[in-house]
């Protein structure tokens, strides 16, 4: 029996978020430049998006570039931007054909103009997709997102657009870059590290975490399905007791 056949289709995570870690270490272990790891990482993205589509996952968010990554060497940052534009140009037709819809979260204003243009074109081209929604977290960090949201809320309160007494969790979530996207059910991190690195801190309040030693370039269909099966073996209580969960079923 294949791994996908072991997945309970009635208990799928609606939203999977992934911290794609290990490109550089994958390359170093093979005596290659870091850029080679990033290029192989793009191939892993293609495999995982296809696997998520086959498993009928609704949302897949990939942590592609953090605000902290801007502090990396200039040559590496430019290489990542160029690789992103190349990958988007290469894959847009397939994404559209497979019903994949692209969205982005993060401070897009910090991206180079040519990269932003390529992204915007891909978003337009895939806007009618009805399959998996692929969310690319670019120039993103949760602290940036939360402080930006707080600032916008404060400005709207001052302008009288938002009554101060109306601020609750739902209101706050509406000011985040992820508004309209369900919170992740499952957060996967590759590469052996066990932290979430400033990623979706608000949204992952009740996500199940899955850490794997596999470097991102080696992550693929079976690895994704193993993570989903692991997720399905857990009891999600959301603050309730096991007895309450059982009685509600």
SS3 64: strand
Please check if 180 is assigned to a binding site.
no
CA atoms within 13 A on the CB side of 226: 10
Strands 133-140 and 101-105, by their bridges, are parallel
SS3 66: strand
149: Cβ–Cβ under 8 A, 6 or more apart, which residues? 172, 175, 176
Select which of 69, 82, 183, 198 is catalytic: 69
Please check if 208 is assigned to a binding site.
yes
Please check if 15 is assigned to a binding site.
no
Please check if 26 is assigned to a binding site.
yes
Please check if 245 is assigned to a binding site.
no
Please check if 212 is assigned to a binding site.
no
Please check if 197 is assigned to a binding site.
yes
- Is there a contact between 178 and 105 (Cβ–Cβ < 8 Å)? yes
Please check if 71 is assigned to a binding site.
no
Please check if 34 is assigned to a binding site.
yes
- Is there a contact between 17 and 67 (Cβ–Cβ < 8 Å)? no
Please check if 38 is assigned to a binding site.
yes
- Is there a contact between 190 and 18 (Cβ–Cβ < 8 Å)? yes
Please check if 25 is assigned to a binding site.
yes
- Is there a contact between 242 and 65 (Cβ–Cβ < 8 Å)? no
Please check if 151 is assigned to a binding site.
no
Select which of 5, 8, 10, 21 is catalytic: 21
Is 69 in the active site? yes
Q: Which residues are annotated as a binding site for substrate?
A: 22-26, 34, 38, 66-68, 70, 72, 189, 195-197
Q: Which residues are annotated as a binding site?
A: 21-26, 34, 38, 66-68, 70, 72, 189, 195-197, 208
Q: Which residues are annotated as a binding site for Mg(2+)?
A: 21, 208
- As annotated, the active-site residues are 21, 69
């Amino acid at each position: 029996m294949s791994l996908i056949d072991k997945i309970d289709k009635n208990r799928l995570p609606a939203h999977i978020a992934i911290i794609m870690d290990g490109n550089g270490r994958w390359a170093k272990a093979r005596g290659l430049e870091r850029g080679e790891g990033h290029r192989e990482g793009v191939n892993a993205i293609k495999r995982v998006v296809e696997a998520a589509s086959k498993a009928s996952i609704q949302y897949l968010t990939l942590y592609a570039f953090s605000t902290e990554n801007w502090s990396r060497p200039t040559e590496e940052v430019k290489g990542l931007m160029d690789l992103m534009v190349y990958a988007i140009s290469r894959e847009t037709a397939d994404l559209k054909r497979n019903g994949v819809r692209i969205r982005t979260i993060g401070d897009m204003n910090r991206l180079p103009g040519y990269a932003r243009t390529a992204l915007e074109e891909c978003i337009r081209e895939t806007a009618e997709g009805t399959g998996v929604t692929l969310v690319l977290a670019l120039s993103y960090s949760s602290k940036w997102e939360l402080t930006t949201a707080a600032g916008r809320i404060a400005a709207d309160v001052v302008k009288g657009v938002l009554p101060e007494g109306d601020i609750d969790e739902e209101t706050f979530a509406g000011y985040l870059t992820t508004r309209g996207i369900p919170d992740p059910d499952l957060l996967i991190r590759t590469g052996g590290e066990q932290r979430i690195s400033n990623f979706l801190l608000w949204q992952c309040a009740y996500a199940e975490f899955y850490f794997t030693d596999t470097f991102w370039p080696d992550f693929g269909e079976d690895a994704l399905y193993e993570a989903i099966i692991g997720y399905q073996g857990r009891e999600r209580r959301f603050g309730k007791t096991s007895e309450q969960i059982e009685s509600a079923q």
